[in-house]
Amino acid sequence: MRWIHKPTPEKTIISHLQECLGVNDVIATLLAQRGIDSYEAAKTYFRPKLKQLFDPFLMKDMDKAVARLCQAIEQKESIMVFGDYDVDGTTSVAMLTHFLQRQEVPVTSYIPERYAEGYGLSKQGIDVAKRENIRCMVALDCGIKAVDLVEYATSLGIDVIICDHHTPSDTLPNALAILDPKRNDCAYPYKELCGCGVGFKLMQGIVQKQGGDLETLIAYLDFVSVAIAADIVPITGENRVLAFLGLQQLNIAPRPGLEVLIRNKTGGQLISDVVFGMAPRINAAGRMKHGLYAVELLLSNSAEEATAMAEAIEAFNTSRRSVEQEITQEALAQVEANNEAENSATVVYAPHWHKGVIGIVASRLIETYYRPTLVFTQAGEGVLAASARSVRGFDVYAAIESCSAHIIQFGGHKYAAGITLNESDYPLFKTAFEQEVKKTLLAEQKEPVLEVDVALPFSAITEKTLRILKQMEPFGPENRSPVFYAEGVVDSGNAKCVGKENDHLKARFVQANSSPIDAIGFGLGDKLSLVKTGSPLRIAFSLEENHWQGNVSVQLRLKDIQPLPL
Protein backbone atom coordinates (compact mmCIF):
# COMPACT_ATOMS: atom_id res chain seq x y z
CA MET A 1 0.00 0.00 0.00
CA ARG A 2 1.29 3.43 -0.97
CA TRP A 3 1.05 6.26 1.55
CA ILE A 4 0.05 9.72 0.42
CA HIS A 5 0.87 12.47 2.89
CA LYS A 6 -1.54 15.39 2.87
CA PRO A 7 0.19 18.69 2.10
CA THR A 8 1.40 20.58 5.15
CA PRO A 9 -0.54 23.87 5.45
CA GLU A 10 1.22 27.21 5.69
CA LYS A 11 2.97 27.70 9.02
CA THR A 12 1.31 31.08 9.51
CA ILE A 13 -2.16 29.46 9.41
CA ILE A 14 -1.11 26.71 11.82
CA SER A 15 0.39 29.27 14.22
CA HIS A 16 -2.72 31.46 14.00
CA LEU A 17 -5.02 28.54 14.81
CA GLN A 18 -2.81 27.45 17.70
CA GLU A 19 -2.99 30.94 19.14
CA CYS A 20 -6.69 31.73 18.65
CA LEU A 21 -7.98 28.26 19.54
CA GLY A 22 -5.44 27.20 22.14
CA VAL A 23 -4.68 23.89 20.45
CA ASN A 24 -1.43 22.05 19.67
CA ASP A 25 0.20 21.99 16.25
CA VAL A 26 -1.26 18.56 15.40
CA ILE A 27 -4.86 19.74 15.85
CA ALA A 28 -4.12 23.05 14.12
CA THR A 29 -2.65 21.17 11.16
CA LEU A 30 -5.70 18.89 10.92
CA LEU A 31 -8.03 21.87 10.90
CA ALA A 32 -6.01 23.76 8.30
CA GLN A 33 -5.98 20.67 6.07
CA ARG A 34 -9.78 20.82 6.20
CA GLY A 35 -9.85 24.42 5.02
CA ILE A 36 -10.33 25.98 8.45
CA ASP A 37 -8.11 29.05 8.74
CA SER A 38 -9.81 31.34 11.29
CA TYR A 39 -11.60 31.40 14.62
CA GLU A 40 -14.96 31.98 12.88
CA ALA A 41 -14.44 29.08 10.48
CA ALA A 42 -13.53 26.84 13.43
CA LYS A 43 -16.63 27.97 15.34
CA THR A 44 -18.85 27.03 12.39
CA TYR A 45 -17.05 23.69 12.05
CA PHE A 46 -17.18 22.70 15.72
CA ARG A 47 -20.65 24.10 16.47
CA PRO A 48 -23.03 23.24 13.58
CA LYS A 49 -26.40 25.00 13.92
CA LEU A 50 -29.68 24.83 12.01
CA LYS A 51 -29.34 28.53 11.19
CA GLN A 52 -26.22 27.70 9.11
CA LEU A 53 -28.41 26.05 6.46
CA PHE A 54 -28.93 27.96 3.23
CA ASP A 55 -32.27 29.41 2.20
CA PRO A 56 -34.01 26.55 0.33
CA PHE A 57 -35.42 29.03 -2.19
CA LEU A 58 -31.91 29.50 -3.59
CA MET A 59 -32.47 26.13 -5.26
CA LYS A 60 -33.84 26.23 -8.81
CA ASP A 61 -37.60 25.43 -8.98
CA MET A 62 -38.03 25.40 -5.18
CA ASP A 63 -40.70 28.09 -5.45
CA LYS A 64 -42.70 25.96 -7.91
CA ALA A 65 -42.36 22.79 -5.82
CA VAL A 66 -43.33 24.50 -2.58
CA ALA A 67 -46.28 26.31 -4.15
CA ARG A 68 -47.66 23.05 -5.60
CA LEU A 69 -47.30 21.10 -2.35
CA CYS A 70 -48.74 23.91 -0.25
CA GLN A 71 -51.74 23.88 -2.60
CA ALA A 72 -52.06 20.12 -2.15
CA ILE A 73 -51.80 20.50 1.63
CA GLU A 74 -54.47 23.22 1.73
CA GLN A 75 -56.85 21.24 -0.48
CA LYS A 76 -56.07 17.88 1.17
CA GLU A 77 -55.07 16.33 -2.17
CA SER A 78 -53.64 12.84 -2.22
CA ILE A 79 -49.88 12.82 -2.87
CA MET A 80 -47.66 9.95 -3.98
CA VAL A 81 -44.20 9.92 -2.42
CA PHE A 82 -42.01 7.82 -4.74
CA GLY A 83 -38.44 6.80 -3.91
CA ASP A 84 -35.63 4.44 -4.74
CA TYR A 85 -35.21 1.16 -2.83
CA ASP A 86 -31.83 1.94 -1.23
CA VAL A 87 -31.21 3.70 2.10
CA ASP A 88 -31.26 7.19 0.60
CA GLY A 89 -34.55 6.49 -1.17
CA THR A 90 -36.36 4.68 1.65
CA THR A 91 -35.36 7.22 4.31
CA SER A 92 -36.49 10.00 1.94
CA VAL A 93 -39.88 8.37 1.42
CA ALA A 94 -40.37 7.70 5.14
CA MET A 95 -39.36 11.26 6.04
CA LEU A 96 -41.62 13.09 3.55
CA THR A 97 -44.49 10.66 4.16
CA HIS A 98 -44.37 11.35 7.90
CA PHE A 99 -44.10 15.11 7.31
CA LEU A 100 -47.11 15.20 4.98
CA GLN A 101 -49.15 12.94 7.23
CA ARG A 102 -48.56 15.45 10.02
CA GLN A 103 -50.06 18.02 7.64
CA GLU A 104 -53.14 15.74 7.47
CA VAL A 105 -52.64 14.98 3.79
CA PRO A 106 -53.48 11.53 2.30
CA VAL A 107 -50.14 9.99 1.28
CA THR A 108 -49.29 6.93 -0.79
CA SER A 109 -45.71 5.72 -0.27
CA TYR A 110 -44.29 3.92 -3.28
CA ILE A 111 -41.01 2.02 -3.68
CA PRO A 112 -40.49 0.21 -7.01
CA GLU A 113 -40.02 -3.55 -6.93
CA ARG A 114 -36.32 -3.89 -7.64
CA TYR A 115 -36.56 -6.75 -10.13
CA ALA A 116 -39.92 -6.19 -11.81
CA GLU A 117 -39.65 -2.41 -12.14
CA GLY A 118 -35.96 -1.57 -11.85
CA TYR A 119 -34.35 1.61 -10.60
CA GLY A 120 -36.13 4.96 -10.40
CA LEU A 121 -39.50 6.14 -11.64
CA SER A 122 -41.57 3.33 -13.09
CA LYS A 123 -44.61 3.06 -15.33
CA GLN A 124 -46.20 0.74 -12.78
CA GLY A 125 -45.88 3.38 -10.06
CA ILE A 126 -47.34 6.07 -12.30
CA ASP A 127 -50.23 3.78 -13.20
CA VAL A 128 -50.94 3.21 -9.51
CA ALA A 129 -51.03 6.99 -9.01
CA LYS A 130 -53.51 7.33 -11.88
CA ARG A 131 -55.75 4.55 -10.54
CA GLU A 132 -55.81 6.17 -7.11
CA ASN A 133 -56.65 9.56 -8.59
CA ILE A 134 -53.38 11.12 -7.42
CA ARG A 135 -52.58 14.40 -9.15
CA CYS A 136 -49.23 15.15 -7.51
CA MET A 137 -46.16 12.90 -7.25
CA VAL A 138 -42.85 13.65 -5.52
CA ALA A 139 -39.92 11.55 -6.79
CA LEU A 140 -37.09 11.33 -4.25
CA ASP A 141 -33.51 10.21 -4.99
CA CYS A 142 -34.50 9.50 -8.59
CA GLY A 143 -36.17 10.99 -11.65
CA ILE A 144 -33.50 13.30 -13.05
CA LYS A 145 -33.14 11.15 -16.19
CA ALA A 146 -36.73 9.90 -16.45
CA VAL A 147 -37.65 12.04 -19.46
CA ASP A 148 -40.13 9.61 -21.04
CA LEU A 149 -41.75 8.53 -17.78
CA VAL A 150 -42.28 12.10 -16.61
CA GLU A 151 -43.84 12.83 -19.99
CA TYR A 152 -46.12 9.81 -19.47
CA ALA A 153 -47.14 10.96 -15.98
CA THR A 154 -47.80 14.48 -17.24
CA SER A 155 -49.99 13.12 -20.03
CA LEU A 156 -52.13 11.46 -17.34
CA GLY A 157 -52.60 14.76 -15.53
CA ILE A 158 -50.06 14.06 -12.76
CA ASP A 159 -47.77 16.87 -11.63
CA VAL A 160 -44.27 15.51 -10.97
CA ILE A 161 -41.82 17.12 -8.55
CA ILE A 162 -38.31 15.66 -8.76
CA CYS A 163 -35.96 15.77 -5.75
CA ASP A 164 -32.71 14.24 -6.96
CA HIS A 165 -28.99 14.66 -6.47
CA HIS A 166 -27.60 12.62 -9.36
CA THR A 167 -25.86 14.17 -12.34
CA PRO A 168 -28.43 15.28 -14.95
CA SER A 169 -28.20 14.56 -18.66
CA ASP A 170 -28.29 17.37 -21.21
CA THR A 171 -32.07 16.98 -21.51
CA LEU A 172 -34.11 17.45 -18.33
CA PRO A 173 -37.53 15.86 -17.80
CA ASN A 174 -40.53 18.12 -18.38
CA ALA A 175 -41.54 17.99 -14.71
CA LEU A 176 -43.48 20.66 -12.81
CA ALA A 177 -40.33 21.23 -10.71
CA ILE A 178 -36.85 19.70 -10.63
CA LEU A 179 -34.87 20.14 -7.44
CA ASP A 180 -31.30 19.02 -8.07
CA PRO A 181 -28.30 21.12 -6.96
CA LYS A 182 -26.25 19.53 -9.75
CA ARG A 183 -28.40 21.16 -12.45
CA ASN A 184 -26.20 23.42 -14.55
CA ASP A 185 -28.71 26.24 -14.14
CA CYS A 186 -29.04 25.84 -10.36
CA ALA A 187 -27.19 28.42 -8.30
CA TYR A 188 -27.68 26.64 -4.98
CA PRO A 189 -24.42 27.14 -3.03
CA TYR A 190 -23.98 23.54 -1.85
CA LYS A 191 -23.94 20.80 -4.49
CA GLU A 192 -23.31 17.62 -2.46
CA LEU A 193 -26.68 16.94 -0.81
CA CYS A 194 -27.97 13.37 -0.90
CA GLY A 195 -31.50 12.64 -2.11
CA CYS A 196 -32.89 12.74 1.42
CA GLY A 197 -31.09 16.06 1.91
CA VAL A 198 -32.86 17.53 -1.13
CA GLY A 199 -36.16 16.22 0.27
CA PHE A 200 -35.37 17.91 3.58
CA LYS A 201 -34.74 21.21 1.78
CA LEU A 202 -38.20 20.86 0.22
CA MET A 203 -39.70 20.41 3.69
CA GLN A 204 -37.70 23.41 4.90
CA GLY A 205 -39.17 25.45 2.06
CA ILE A 206 -42.72 24.38 2.94
CA VAL A 207 -42.27 25.27 6.61
CA GLN A 208 -40.80 28.67 5.68
CA LYS A 209 -43.69 29.33 3.29
CA GLN A 210 -46.19 28.41 6.00
CA GLY A 211 -44.44 30.64 8.52
CA GLY A 212 -43.70 27.69 10.79
CA ASP A 213 -40.85 27.04 13.21
CA LEU A 214 -37.84 25.42 11.51
CA GLU A 215 -36.89 23.81 14.83
CA THR A 216 -39.75 21.34 14.27
CA LEU A 217 -37.73 19.85 11.42
CA ILE A 218 -34.91 18.72 13.72
CA ALA A 219 -36.97 15.62 14.51
CA TYR A 220 -36.52 14.52 10.87
CA LEU A 221 -32.76 14.84 10.78
CA ASP A 222 -32.17 11.30 12.04
CA PHE A 223 -33.51 10.18 8.64
CA VAL A 224 -31.17 12.59 6.87
CA SER A 225 -28.07 11.58 8.85
CA VAL A 226 -28.65 7.90 8.03
CA ALA A 227 -29.02 8.74 4.31
CA ILE A 228 -25.89 10.94 4.32
CA ALA A 229 -23.86 8.15 5.93
CA ALA A 230 -25.18 5.41 3.67
CA ASP A 231 -24.85 7.37 0.43
CA ILE A 232 -21.16 8.23 1.12
CA VAL A 233 -21.55 11.94 0.33
CA PRO A 234 -19.02 14.53 1.58
CA ILE A 235 -19.38 15.48 5.26
CA THR A 236 -18.82 19.16 4.51
CA GLY A 237 -20.95 22.31 4.45
CA GLU A 238 -24.66 21.61 4.82
CA ASN A 239 -24.11 17.86 4.98
CA ARG A 240 -21.96 18.34 8.07
CA VAL A 241 -24.70 20.40 9.75
CA LEU A 242 -27.42 17.91 8.80
CA ALA A 243 -25.32 14.88 9.82
CA PHE A 244 -24.19 16.45 13.12
CA LEU A 245 -27.70 17.43 14.21
CA GLY A 246 -29.15 14.20 12.84
CA LEU A 247 -26.75 12.03 14.84
CA GLN A 248 -27.62 14.06 17.94
CA GLN A 249 -31.28 13.27 17.29
CA LEU A 250 -30.43 9.61 16.69
CA ASN A 251 -28.60 9.45 20.02
CA ILE A 252 -31.04 11.49 22.12
CA ALA A 253 -34.46 10.52 20.76
CA PRO A 254 -34.25 7.85 18.04
CA ARG A 255 -37.56 6.89 16.48
CA PRO A 256 -38.51 3.24 17.16
CA GLY A 257 -37.75 2.08 13.61
CA LEU A 258 -34.17 3.32 13.82
CA GLU A 259 -33.56 2.47 17.47
CA VAL A 260 -34.05 -1.26 16.84
CA LEU A 261 -31.32 -1.15 14.18
CA ILE A 262 -28.71 0.36 16.51
CA ARG A 263 -25.95 -2.17 17.13
CA ASN A 264 -23.42 -0.06 19.04
CA LYS A 265 -24.94 0.27 22.50
CA THR A 266 -21.73 1.36 24.24
CA GLY A 267 -21.63 4.97 23.10
CA GLY A 268 -23.08 7.58 20.79
CA GLN A 269 -23.85 6.61 17.23
CA LEU A 270 -21.18 7.57 14.71
CA ILE A 271 -21.29 7.71 10.92
CA SER A 272 -19.38 4.40 10.86
CA ASP A 273 -22.05 2.75 13.05
CA VAL A 274 -24.68 3.79 10.52
CA VAL A 275 -22.60 2.71 7.50
CA PHE A 276 -21.71 -0.73 8.84
CA GLY A 277 -24.64 -1.42 11.17
CA MET A 278 -27.87 0.27 10.20
CA ALA A 279 -27.49 0.88 6.46
CA PRO A 280 -26.90 -2.75 5.37
CA ARG A 281 -30.04 -3.81 7.23
CA ILE A 282 -32.19 -1.08 5.68
CA ASN A 283 -30.75 -1.93 2.27
CA ALA A 284 -31.36 -5.64 2.78
CA ALA A 285 -35.12 -5.16 2.53
CA GLY A 286 -34.87 -3.74 -1.00
CA ARG A 287 -32.15 -6.18 -2.01
CA MET A 288 -33.81 -9.39 -0.85
CA LYS A 289 -37.55 -8.61 -0.58
CA HIS A 290 -39.08 -5.14 -1.08
CA GLY A 291 -38.02 -1.61 -0.09
CA LEU A 292 -41.45 -0.91 1.41
CA TYR A 293 -40.48 -3.18 4.32
CA ALA A 294 -37.80 -0.61 5.18
CA VAL A 295 -40.21 2.33 4.85
CA GLU A 296 -42.76 0.61 7.09
CA LEU A 297 -40.04 -0.12 9.65
CA LEU A 298 -38.83 3.49 9.62
CA LEU A 299 -42.41 4.72 10.14
CA SER A 300 -43.13 2.31 13.02
CA ASN A 301 -44.75 4.01 16.00
CA SER A 302 -44.00 1.40 18.67
CA ALA A 303 -40.98 -0.55 19.84
CA GLU A 304 -42.96 -3.82 19.63
CA GLU A 305 -43.96 -3.27 16.00
CA ALA A 306 -40.48 -2.08 15.07
CA THR A 307 -38.80 -5.06 16.75
CA ALA A 308 -40.95 -7.56 14.86
CA MET A 309 -40.22 -5.86 11.53
CA ALA A 310 -36.50 -5.54 12.33
CA GLU A 311 -36.30 -9.29 12.96
CA ALA A 312 -37.66 -9.93 9.47
CA ILE A 313 -35.19 -7.46 7.96
CA GLU A 314 -32.36 -9.09 9.93
CA ALA A 315 -33.27 -12.38 8.25
CA PHE A 316 -33.09 -10.61 4.87
CA ASN A 317 -29.64 -9.29 5.81
CA THR A 318 -28.37 -12.73 6.83
CA SER A 319 -29.58 -14.13 3.51
CA ARG A 320 -27.95 -11.22 1.69
CA ARG A 321 -24.55 -11.95 3.25
CA SER A 322 -24.71 -15.62 2.26
CA VAL A 323 -25.71 -14.85 -1.33
CA GLU A 324 -23.08 -12.11 -1.62
CA GLN A 325 -20.27 -14.43 -0.50
CA GLU A 326 -21.34 -17.15 -2.92
CA ILE A 327 -21.50 -14.78 -5.92
CA THR A 328 -18.17 -13.19 -5.03
CA GLN A 329 -16.46 -16.57 -5.14
CA GLU A 330 -18.10 -17.40 -8.48
CA ALA A 331 -17.03 -14.03 -9.92
CA LEU A 332 -13.43 -14.48 -8.77
CA ALA A 333 -13.37 -17.93 -10.36
CA GLN A 334 -14.75 -16.47 -13.61
CA VAL A 335 -11.97 -13.87 -13.78
CA GLU A 336 -9.33 -16.55 -13.32
CA ALA A 337 -10.97 -18.98 -15.77
CA ASN A 338 -11.10 -16.27 -18.45
CA ASN A 339 -7.45 -15.30 -17.83
CA GLU A 340 -8.53 -11.74 -17.02
CA ALA A 341 -6.59 -11.24 -13.80
CA GLU A 342 -4.23 -8.80 -15.57
CA ASN A 343 -6.98 -6.76 -17.26
CA SER A 344 -7.40 -3.05 -16.59
CA ALA A 345 -11.03 -3.55 -15.54
CA THR A 346 -13.17 -6.31 -14.10
CA VAL A 347 -16.37 -7.07 -16.02
CA VAL A 348 -18.18 -10.30 -15.08
CA TYR A 349 -21.63 -11.75 -15.75
CA ALA A 350 -23.83 -14.68 -14.82
CA PRO A 351 -27.59 -14.78 -15.44
CA HIS A 352 -28.46 -16.26 -12.04
CA TRP A 353 -26.63 -13.73 -9.86
CA HIS A 354 -28.94 -11.90 -7.46
CA LYS A 355 -29.45 -8.35 -8.67
CA GLY A 356 -29.79 -7.08 -5.11
CA VAL A 357 -26.17 -7.78 -4.16
CA ILE A 358 -24.17 -7.18 -7.35
CA GLY A 359 -23.08 -3.72 -6.12
CA ILE A 360 -21.65 -5.25 -2.96
CA VAL A 361 -19.97 -7.98 -5.00
CA ALA A 362 -18.35 -5.32 -7.21
CA SER A 363 -16.86 -3.73 -4.08
CA ARG A 364 -15.61 -7.13 -2.88
CA LEU A 365 -13.92 -7.78 -6.23
CA ILE A 366 -12.07 -4.49 -5.94
CA GLU A 367 -10.55 -5.80 -2.70
CA THR A 368 -8.89 -8.54 -4.79
CA TYR A 369 -8.35 -6.79 -8.13
CA TYR A 370 -7.91 -3.11 -7.40
CA ARG A 371 -9.52 -1.67 -10.54
CA PRO A 372 -12.87 -0.39 -11.91
CA THR A 373 -15.44 -3.18 -11.72
CA LEU A 374 -18.84 -4.02 -13.20
CA VAL A 375 -20.95 -7.01 -12.19
CA PHE A 376 -23.78 -7.98 -14.57
CA THR A 377 -26.82 -10.18 -14.13
CA GLN A 378 -30.04 -10.95 -15.98
CA ALA A 379 -32.63 -8.19 -15.61
CA GLY A 380 -35.33 -9.38 -18.00
CA GLU A 381 -35.81 -11.06 -21.33
CA GLY A 382 -32.65 -10.27 -23.30
CA VAL A 383 -31.65 -7.45 -20.92
CA LEU A 384 -28.74 -7.27 -18.47
CA ALA A 385 -28.17 -4.92 -15.54
CA ALA A 386 -24.90 -4.07 -13.81
CA SER A 387 -23.60 -2.26 -10.79
CA ALA A 388 -20.31 -0.42 -11.23
CA ARG A 389 -17.79 0.53 -8.57
CA SER A 390 -14.53 2.40 -8.97
CA VAL A 391 -11.15 2.98 -7.39
CA ARG A 392 -9.73 6.16 -5.95
CA GLY A 393 -9.50 8.97 -8.48
CA PHE A 394 -11.08 7.12 -11.42
CA ASP A 395 -14.38 8.41 -12.86
CA VAL A 396 -16.29 5.23 -13.70
CA TYR A 397 -19.38 7.24 -14.71
CA ALA A 398 -17.38 9.00 -17.45
CA ALA A 399 -15.89 5.68 -18.60
CA ILE A 400 -19.36 4.15 -18.89
CA GLU A 401 -20.64 7.24 -20.70
CA SER A 402 -17.92 6.79 -23.32
CA CYS A 403 -19.41 3.34 -24.06
CA SER A 404 -23.01 4.62 -24.27
CA ALA A 405 -23.45 3.29 -27.83
CA HIS A 406 -23.79 -0.18 -26.29
CA ILE A 407 -26.06 0.85 -23.36
CA ILE A 408 -29.82 1.22 -22.94
CA GLN A 409 -29.53 3.54 -19.94
CA PHE A 410 -27.18 4.37 -17.08
CA GLY A 411 -26.94 6.66 -14.07
CA GLY A 412 -24.85 7.34 -11.00
CA HIS A 413 -21.73 9.29 -10.16
CA LYS A 414 -17.94 9.18 -10.21
CA TYR A 415 -17.46 6.13 -8.00
CA ALA A 416 -20.67 4.15 -8.41
CA ALA A 417 -23.15 3.66 -11.24
CA GLY A 418 -25.81 1.34 -12.60
CA ILE A 419 -26.45 0.42 -16.22
CA THR A 420 -28.72 -1.72 -18.38
CA LEU A 421 -27.98 -3.06 -21.85
CA ASN A 422 -29.17 -5.64 -24.32
CA GLU A 423 -27.64 -9.06 -23.71
CA SER A 424 -26.40 -9.12 -27.30
CA ASP A 425 -24.38 -5.96 -26.62
CA TYR A 426 -22.57 -7.36 -23.58
CA PRO A 427 -19.42 -8.55 -25.44
CA LEU A 428 -19.17 -5.22 -27.30
CA PHE A 429 -19.62 -3.23 -24.11
CA LYS A 430 -17.11 -5.35 -22.20
CA THR A 431 -14.46 -4.82 -24.88
CA ALA A 432 -15.18 -1.09 -25.17
CA PHE A 433 -15.09 -0.58 -21.40
CA GLU A 434 -11.83 -2.49 -21.01
CA GLN A 435 -10.26 -0.37 -23.76
CA GLU A 436 -11.53 2.87 -22.25
CA VAL A 437 -10.22 2.02 -18.77
CA LYS A 438 -6.90 0.83 -20.18
CA LYS A 439 -6.56 4.16 -21.98
CA THR A 440 -7.58 6.43 -19.07
CA LEU A 441 -6.60 4.64 -15.84
CA LEU A 442 -3.45 6.29 -14.51
CA ALA A 443 -0.57 4.29 -13.08
CA GLU A 444 -1.07 5.76 -9.60
CA GLN A 445 -4.74 4.67 -9.66
CA LYS A 446 -3.79 1.00 -9.97
CA GLU A 447 -2.52 0.63 -6.41
CA PRO A 448 -4.42 1.04 -3.13
CA VAL A 449 -3.36 4.17 -1.30
CA LEU A 450 -3.59 5.39 2.25
CA GLU A 451 -3.99 9.11 2.83
CA VAL A 452 -2.05 10.14 5.93
CA ASP A 453 -2.71 13.44 7.70
CA VAL A 454 0.09 14.24 10.12
CA ALA A 455 2.68 12.72 12.47
CA LEU A 456 1.44 12.07 16.00
CA PRO A 457 4.06 11.06 18.57
CA PHE A 458 2.70 8.84 21.33
CA SER A 459 3.66 11.53 23.84
CA ALA A 460 1.15 13.90 22.20
CA ILE A 461 -1.80 11.51 22.67
CA THR A 462 -3.44 13.37 25.56
CA GLU A 463 -6.99 13.57 26.89
CA LYS A 464 -7.32 17.07 25.40
CA THR A 465 -6.25 15.83 21.96
CA LEU A 466 -8.79 13.01 22.13
CA ARG A 467 -11.52 15.37 23.29
CA ILE A 468 -10.94 17.73 20.36
CA LEU A 469 -10.78 14.86 17.88
CA LYS A 470 -14.22 13.70 19.06
CA GLN A 471 -15.54 17.22 18.45
CA MET A 472 -14.38 16.95 14.82
CA GLU A 473 -16.99 14.25 14.22
CA PRO A 474 -19.01 13.28 12.27
CA PHE A 475 -16.33 11.86 10.04
CA GLY A 476 -16.83 10.80 6.44
CA PRO A 477 -15.75 11.75 2.91
CA GLU A 478 -13.77 15.03 2.86
CA ASN A 479 -13.80 15.05 6.66
CA ARG A 480 -12.22 11.67 7.26
CA SER A 481 -11.26 10.43 10.67
CA PRO A 482 -7.63 11.62 10.88
CA VAL A 483 -5.02 9.04 9.97
CA PHE A 484 -1.81 9.66 11.91
CA TYR A 485 1.60 8.12 11.58
CA ALA A 486 4.38 7.43 14.06
CA GLU A 487 7.94 6.31 13.37
CA GLY A 488 10.48 4.39 15.41
CA VAL A 489 7.76 2.24 16.92
CA VAL A 490 8.48 -1.27 18.26
CA ASP A 491 6.31 -4.05 19.64
CA SER A 492 6.50 -4.64 23.37
CA GLY A 493 6.67 -8.39 22.73
CA ASN A 494 3.09 -9.62 22.89
CA ALA A 495 1.91 -9.18 19.30
CA LYS A 496 -0.38 -11.96 18.08
CA CYS A 497 -3.01 -12.82 15.49
CA VAL A 498 -6.62 -12.92 16.59
CA GLY A 499 -10.03 -13.62 15.05
CA LYS A 500 -11.65 -16.76 13.66
CA GLU A 501 -9.25 -16.83 10.73
CA ASN A 502 -6.31 -15.32 12.62
CA ASP A 503 -6.39 -12.48 10.12
CA HIS A 504 -6.35 -9.59 12.61
CA LEU A 505 -3.31 -8.27 14.46
CA LYS A 506 -3.28 -7.31 18.12
CA ALA A 507 -0.20 -5.62 19.54
CA ARG A 508 1.14 -3.18 22.11
CA PHE A 509 3.51 -0.62 20.65
CA VAL A 510 6.14 1.52 22.33
CA GLN A 511 7.82 4.69 21.13
CA ALA A 512 10.79 6.36 22.81
CA ASN A 513 9.92 8.30 25.94
CA SER A 514 6.27 7.22 25.94
CA SER A 515 4.01 4.67 27.55
CA PRO A 516 2.94 1.57 25.60
CA ILE A 517 -0.37 1.78 23.70
CA ASP A 518 -2.61 -1.10 22.63
CA ALA A 519 -3.31 -1.48 18.93
CA ILE A 520 -5.64 -3.53 16.73
CA GLY A 521 -5.23 -3.99 13.00
CA PHE A 522 -8.17 -5.66 11.24
CA GLY A 523 -7.01 -7.64 8.24
CA LEU A 524 -3.36 -7.04 9.13
CA GLY A 525 -2.58 -10.51 10.45
CA ASP A 526 -0.02 -10.97 7.68
CA LYS A 527 2.08 -8.21 9.29
CA LEU A 528 2.82 -10.29 12.40
CA SER A 529 6.18 -11.54 11.16
CA LEU A 530 7.26 -7.97 10.39
CA VAL A 531 6.23 -6.80 13.86
CA LYS A 532 7.97 -9.77 15.51
CA THR A 533 11.37 -8.83 14.00
CA GLY A 534 11.72 -6.21 16.71
CA SER A 535 12.97 -3.70 14.14
CA PRO A 536 11.73 -0.09 14.30
CA LEU A 537 8.54 0.38 12.33
CA ARG A 538 6.38 3.16 11.01
CA ILE A 539 2.67 2.74 11.58
CA ALA A 540 -0.41 4.52 10.27
CA PHE A 541 -3.38 4.61 12.61
CA SER A 542 -6.46 6.40 13.85
CA LEU A 543 -7.35 6.87 17.50
CA GLU A 544 -10.38 5.29 19.11
CA GLU A 545 -11.82 4.45 22.49
CA ASN A 546 -11.85 0.79 23.44
CA HIS A 547 -14.75 -0.17 25.72
CA TRP A 548 -14.10 -3.42 27.57
CA GLN A 549 -15.76 -4.70 30.77
CA GLY A 550 -16.76 -1.19 31.81
CA ASN A 551 -13.31 0.28 31.22
CA VAL A 552 -12.47 2.84 28.54
CA SER A 553 -8.96 3.15 27.15
CA VAL A 554 -7.20 4.67 24.14
CA GLN A 555 -6.47 2.26 21.31
CA LEU A 556 -4.72 2.60 17.98
CA ARG A 557 -6.78 1.38 15.00
CA LEU A 558 -3.96 0.32 12.68
CA LYS A 559 -4.25 1.10 8.97
CA ASP A 560 -0.83 -0.12 7.82
CA ILE A 561 2.55 -1.19 9.14
CA GLN A 562 5.81 -0.77 7.24
CA PRO A 563 9.51 -1.14 7.97
CA LEU A 564 11.09 2.14 8.93
CA PRO A 565 12.80 3.43 5.76
CA LEU A 566 16.60 3.39 5.98
Mean pLDDT of 402-431: 92
For residue 423, the model assigns a pLDDT of 96
Look at 28 and 291; give whichever has higher pLDDT.
28
Which pLDDT band, with edges at 50, 70 and 90, does 199 fall under? very high
Q: What is the per-residue pLDDT across 112-131, written as a single tens digit (0 to 9) for each? A: 887 777 778 999 999 999 99
Of 166-175, 284-293, 352-361, least confident by mean pLDDT is 284-293
For residue 288, the model assigns a pLDDT of 65
For residue 376, the model assigns a pLDDT of 97
How many percent of the chain have pLDDT more than 70?
A: 98
Mean pLDDT of 42-64: 96
CA–CA distance, 528 with 505 (Å, rounded to integer): 7
Beta carbons of 520 and 557 less than 8 angstroms apart: yes
pLDDT for 267 beyond 60: no
Q: What is the per-residue pLDDT across 201-219, written as a single tens digit (0 to 9) for each? A: 999 999 999 999 999 999 9
For residue 493, the model assigns a pLDDT of 80
How is 79-117 classified by DSSP, letter by letter?
EEEEE-SSHHHHHHHHHHHHHHHHTT--EEEE---TTTT
For residue 257, the model assigns a pLDDT of 86
For residue 385, the model assigns a pLDDT of 93
Look at 275 and 134; give whichever has higher pLDDT.
134
The DSSP call for residue 8 is P
Count other C-beta atoms under 10 Å from residue 55's C-beta.
13
CA–CA distance, 339 with 326 (Å, rounded to integer): 20
What's the chain's average pLDDT?
A: 92
Three-state DSSP state, 16: helix
pLDDT for 273 beyond 70: yes
Please tell me which of 185-194, 309-318, 470-479 the model is most confident about, judged by mean pLDDT: 185-194
Q: What is the per-residue pLDDT across 69-95, written as a single tens digit (0 to 9) for each? A: 999 999 999 999 999 888 999 999 999
pLDDT for 266 beyond 60: no
| b/e 187-210 (16+ beta carbons within 10 angstroms → b) | ebebebbbbbbbbbbbbbbbbebe
Which pLDDT band, with edges at 50, 70 and 90, does 264 fall under? low
What is the largest distance, in Å, between two alpha-carbon atoms of the chain? 76
